[in-house]
Amino acid sequence: MSYTLSPSTLAATSEGTQVNQTVTITVGTFDPPISSIAVYKLEHTQGNIDVSIGASSFTLNGQYLQNWDQTILYEEFGTNGNANVTVNQFSKVSSNLNFIISYIANTAPATLTANYAISINGEANIFLTQPVKTGFTPNQESLIAAVAKGKF
């Protein structure tokens, strides 16, 4: 099979930045017509990236969020007293949060690669990548959103 993707690699983006990228699938000379397309999110694709499938293309739309682990130490209310809890994502902080003790952002690597597998007609996968850069503080958008909700 010689189906190809255009573009074959997506342009670099940053965490928390809106992505709206259409990828077109070109049918090779001896390939059967496209009857189905499936896009599978692999590594570093967390966030709210939606995939819309067309007849010979697909579109990725949304933002990459929370792909860098961090260390969040907080105190949690408990029925038998308060306890210190450590998690690696803001989404894992319990609703029994008392207060944040410390937050350490993992700043390395500065860029991760989002990976996708595209299956055409249920056959072998073609892979697609997109470099995703972090800002000064990885997952800063998640921290800002949690603070805005009054959670922290």
Region label for 135, one of left (φ > 0), alpha (ψ between -120 and 50) or beta (otherwise): beta
Q: What is the pLDDT of residue 64?
A: 93
How far apart, in whole angstroms, are the C-alpha atoms of residue 144 and residue 151? 10
pLDDT at 93 over 70: yes
Average pLDDT of the segment spanning 109-127:
92
Average pLDDT of the segment spanning 3-17:
94
pLDDT tens sequence across 32-76:
999 999 999 999 999 999 999 999 999 999 999 888 888 888 889
How sure is the predictor about 136, in pLDDT bands with cuts at 50, 70 and 90?
Answer: low
The rounded mean pLDDT for the chain is 87
Contacts of 70 (CB under 8 A, 6+ apart): 88, 89, 103, 104, 105, 106, 138, 139
Q: What is the pLDDT of residue 135?
A: 65
Domains detected in the chain: 4-65+108-137 (2.60.40.10)
The amino acid sitting at 26 is T
Average pLDDT of the segment spanning 82-101:
86
